[in-house]
């Protein structure tokens, strides 16, 4: 059962933090500054965005580049590894668009029997 092994768990853990997936997706067209990411994503605080970017960097999915300008400029960019995760994220996103209302309908319907 490949899904119960350690490697698969790691992948599901990475994608399980929705912000990870959202931020990776926002970087798909190239390097971005944190302020631009915040503006595009919406609903993410500066603190949570910073934590997310550091987590992605720690996992080898993005790189951080600081430019010694005045004012200093920082950009984040997908690594090849981070780019490779766009496909699974895209497939799951497409599934969500196609099927999320079926899930919500099932939830509204409530359990067929007592939990």
The answer to whether the beta carbons of residues 52 and 19 sit under 8 Å apart is yes
Give the interface size with a second copy as a residue count (CB under 8 A).
60
Q: Contact letters (x/-) for a second copy, 76-105, by CB under 8 A?
A: -----x--xx-xxx-xxx-xxxxxxxxxxx
The binder of a second copy chosen from 33, 40, 46, 73 (CB under 8 A) = 40
Instruction: Give dist(CA 11, CA 48) in Å, integer.
Output: 21
* Strand 62-67 relative to strand 73-78, pairing: antiparallel
* DSSP-derived secondary structure for 6-58: HHHHHHHHHHHSHHHHHHHHHTTTS-B-HHHHHHHH-S--HHHHHHHHHHHHH
The distance of closest approach from Cβ of residue 70 to a second copy in the complex, given in angstroms and rounded to an integer, is 21
Measured from the CB atom, the residue of 34 and 44 that comes closer to a second copy is 44
The binder of a second copy chosen from 10, 35, 46, 74 (CB under 8 A) = 10
Nearest to 75 by CA among 35, 40, 26, 39: 35
SS3 2: helix
If one asks whether residue 60 binds a second copy (CB under 8 A), the answer comes out as yes
If one asks whether residue 52 binds a second copy (CB under 8 A), the answer comes out as no
Q: Which residues bind a second copy (CB under 8 A)?
A: 1-4, 6-18, 21-22, 25-26, 40-44, 54, 57-61, 64, 81, 84-85, 87-89, 91-93, 95-107, 109, 111-113, 115
């Amino acid at each position: 059962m490949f899904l119960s092994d350690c490697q698969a768990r790691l992948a599901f853990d990475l994608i399980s933090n929705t912000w990870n997936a959202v931020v990776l997706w926002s970087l798909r067209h190239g390097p971005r500054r944190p302020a631009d990411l915040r503006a595009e994503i919406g609903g993410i605080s500066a603190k949570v965005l910073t934590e997310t970017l550091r987590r992605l960097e720690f996992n080898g999915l993005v790189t951080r580049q600081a430019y010694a300008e005045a004012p200093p400029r920082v950009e984040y960019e997908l690594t090849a590894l981070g780019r490779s995760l766009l496909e699974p994220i895209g497939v799951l996103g497409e599934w969500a668009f196609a099927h999320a209302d079926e899930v919500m309908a099932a939830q509204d319907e409530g359990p067929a029997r007592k939990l």
